[in-house]
Amino acid sequence: MVNRGIRGATTVTRNDEAEILRETVVLLREIVERNHVIAEDICSVWITMTEDLDATFPARAIREIEGWEMVPLMCSVEIPVKGSLPQCIRLMVQVNTIKTQREIRHVYLNEAQKLRPDLSQDKS
């Protein structure tokens, strides 16, 4: 097994606690489903949000998922680059796997599809 990073990003329509939590879970579940991983395989999850989102910690949503209570989570603010995509939540899920880099399925949802159109479509 090796450690691989699975990237993912999504956006919300407003700085709202419920929407941030909901979209974080949607993104994580999509990453897990497309890559066929379980919480026990996860080393850690790094979560960033753009500066315009401060209504809640997105890690809260992940901690509430059954089986994910012990997964190490860390939240941070994304670098505020001029012209960058607003209202964006990004995940870097580090997972133990036998998959190659090319077999990893990165996930970009909502407006975040603009970040990596080459990776935004599920190619499974």
* Catalytically active residues, by annotation: 7, 63, 75, 78, 90, 108, 116
What are the tokens at 67? 């089986």
Residue 102 annotated as binding? no
Please tell me whether 7 is known to bind a ligand.
Answer: yes
Q: Would you say 4 is a known binding-site residue?
A: no
d(CA 98, CA 103): 10
CA–CA separation, 59 and 73 (whole Å): 6
- 32 in Cβ contact with 123 (< 8 Å): no
The binding site comprises 7, 90, 108
The binding site for prephenate comprises 7, 90, 108
